[in-house]
Chains A and B, each alone.
Chain A
Amino acid sequence: DTGVSQDPRHKITKRGQNVTFRCDPISEHNRLYWYRQTLGQGPEFLTYFQNEAQLEKSRLLSDRFSAERPKGSFSTLEIQRTEQGDSAMYLCASSVGREQFFGPGTRLTVL
């Protein structure tokens, strides 16, 4: 399968714990995006990478959130000291041109 992959697909954690998600983009896609989606809403932009450089960050990305793309390939999104309000679907997308291709998402539940 050559699509965008995300791991894990589901994560249940207790409030205050740290979690890390991984996204593997389509091979040779130099652009990578993270979005967050809550139930019944459209996705909200979190951050964008071009190769290994993080070029844009939303104000939604508080200091508890950090994203990396160390070698310009896969990316990680870490949430520290999780809160119940962090419960959402975290979506990753990649592109090389105008169209973004999305992964299946990681559903986070914070108890």
Chain B
Amino acid sequence: KQEVTQIPAALSVPEGENLVLNCSFTDSAIYNLQWFRQDPGKGLTSLLLIQSSQREQTSGRLNASLDKSSGRSTLYIAASQPGDSATYLCAVRRVDSNYQLIWGAGTKLIIKP
């Protein structure tokens, strides 16, 4: 059974710092991995999607890496801003399912001005 874990559960850093969020999964048989952002009481916004054959994806100040063999992904945020404050979730798509995503519980990020 696929399980996805995100550590830490919460993180508070001063504005301007570079930071790394971690996501681990137990079954390496994944189709892809997505990172999402969720603001309080809101839906989910997709940030980056990495296919199983890829090592990393970049979008602006965000960089996501994937090491399928070790069951790990990281989301790197450069030069953090208060507007980056949100909960960040990772989700993996199983290869044996019609697009079903298995989710981590998220990391709540607070960027202090």
Contacts and interface: CB of A to CB of B under 8 A. Distances in A.
Interface of A: 4, 6, 31, 33, 35, 40-45, 48, 50, 55-56, 91, 93, 95, 98-105, 107
B100 A48 contact: yes
Contacts of A6: 43
B105 A98 contact: no
A41 B43 contact: no
B32 A98 contact: yes
Contacts of A44: 103
A57 B102 CA distance: 14
Contact of B91 (A4, A42, A48, A98): A42
15 contacts: A6-B43, A33-B99, A33-B101, A35-B101, A41-B105, A41-B106, A42-B106, A55-B98, A56-B98, A91-B44, A99-B34, A100-B34, A100-B101, A104-B42, A105-B43
Contacts of A103: 43
Q: How large is the interface on B (under 10, 10 to 19, 20 to 34, 35 or more residues)?
A: 20 to 34
A99 B49 contact: yes
Contacts of B34: 99-100
A105 B36 CA distance: 15
A48 B98 contact: yes
Contacts of A48: 98-100
B89 to A, nearest CB: 5
Contact of A31 (B41, B44, B91, B99): B99
